[in-house]
Amino acid sequence: MPATAPSRLFSATLAVAVAASMAACSSSPDTGGSAPGTLSLWDPYPQFTAGSEWAKVIDGCGAEAGVKIERQSYDTTDLTNKVLLAAQQRTAPNVLVLDNPVVSTLVEAGVLKTNQEAGLDASQISPNLLAAGQVGGQTYGVPLGANTLALYYNKNVLDAAGVDPASVKDWASLDAALAKVKGAGKKGITFGAIGTEEGTFQFLPWFWGAGASLTDLSSAPAVAALTQWKSWLDRGYAPNSVVGNTQTTSWQEFAGGEYAFAENGTWQLENAKKAGFPYGVIPIPGRTGGTAAAPTGGEFVTVPAQDNPDRERTAGRVVTCLTAPDKVLASDTALTYVSAVPSVQQRQVAARPELAVWADAVKNAKSRTGDNLGTRYPRISQPLWNAVQAALTGAKSPEAALKDAQATAASAK
């Protein structure tokens, strides 16, 4: 899947790495391993090479701060583990771009400076996007932008079934549309329910859209959400392959041209244009109407702690530049993100009207680590994706699967 996709996985070793790093991170890292006159920056975008728009923005912000930036890129899971190790060795980078659910993990490990300490201003950021970087009443870093989930549709398939996508307003109307699609001999909906963080990410809009909370996985709304997904498999609206689907493989199914709907994100926009059939995008509906809250994906730009206050201040100036409205538009375009700054969102939609649905989805989106979950989130997410797997495969009923998931999550506190 693209490195900019929001469902990069939490490593199974992350909690262990955090625990191991706690004591070591109590003393600040050194200079990030960079020479005088340079700052190191680590990000999770190995696909963007030195000539990319993102790299150009970084170089420009370094020049404005009077330093040369040495950039290193890693896969997201590798990046998190490397940062925790580097913090122990006092060689953490000066500027760190990281997946938003990991912010609270690095805060707990003592790696990051608060925005107040680093001189960062996040006042222009949409509050729902900033929430992922807020821990204990403090804010850590500034989001570059966000991506989230919606429903792509194949206009040819819907036309053949006599379905108007605008009629899909809630779960009942979506079910009615899927029934018509199946009746016309077409395929209904595909999504990714793989047993990883990616599966939880895909399930959350339905979970939250039913009114469920991550603090109670076994609630009646949670059971309704999982029952909805299971019913699609039982009625033949969704393929059994969703149990092993990632967002990439479910997209490949949709791109074959036979499915009416696919749950996926902004990172597939360019692929949608190449699919060879007319498509559109609608919000994921809530159970009884409205737009369901989908999880926010995207990265925060942060300042790790250093022994040298001058380098921290310079790093803060670089972060301020990278996230400034006049710079972030280019970055968000390169990353296929909806901006975290409302005024920049308006400019994006004006330039590309097809982003209007995505901008609305981002406005309704929700942080996975919000509701004061912080580092508890991975210990909730894993039982949840296990419950989804158990229910979709028929190993357990949705109610029993979620009851067991809640017991597991509660015991892991």
The domain that holds 317 is classified in CATH as: 3.40.190.10
Asked whether residue 36 is domain-assigned, the answer is: yes
Tally of structural domains, the chain: 2
Encode burial over 49-84: b for 16+ CB neighbours within 10 A, e otherwise. eeeeebbebbeebbeebebebbbebbebbebbbbbb
User: What's the whole-number mean pLDDT along residues 201-219?
Assistant: 98
**Cα–Cα dist 34/125, whole Å:** 30
**Cα–Cα dist 363/340, whole Å:** 9
Domain that holds residue 102: 14-147+298-364
pTM of the predicted model as reported, rounded to 2 decimal places: 0.86
Amino acid in position 319: V
Q: What count of other Cβ atoms lies within 10 Å of the Cβ of residue 37?
A: 8
Instruction: Tell how far CA 138 is from the center of its chain.
Output: 21
The pLDDT value given to residue 35: 59
The pLDDT value given to residue 331: 84
pLDDT at 16 over 50: no
Condensed to tens digits (0 to 9), the pLDDT of residues 397-413 reads 999 999 999 999 999 86
For a pLDDT cut of 70, what percent of the chain falls above it? Answer: 91
Residues 143 and 162 in one domain: no
What is the helix (H) or strand (E) element at residue 64, kind and residue range? helix 53-65
Residues 56 and 121 in one domain: yes
In the DSSP assignment, the letter for residue 8 is P
Least confident of 8-17, 41-50, 203-212, 381-390: 8-17
Structure tokens at 330: 């280019």
Residues 153 and 284 in one domain: yes
User: What's the whole-number mean pLDDT along residues 131-139?
Assistant: 93
Instruction: Tell how far CA 301 is from the center of its chain.
Output: 15
**Cα–Cα dist 391/411, whole Å:** 21
**Cα–Cα dist 58/70, whole Å:** 10
Using only C-alpha atoms, the chain has a radius of gyration, in whole angstroms, of: 21
**Cα–Cα dist 130/114, whole Å:** 13
pLDDT at 284 over 50: yes
pLDDT at 19 over 50: no
Condensed to tens digits (0 to 9), the pLDDT of residues 338-372 reads 999 999 999 999 999 999 999 999 999 999 998 88
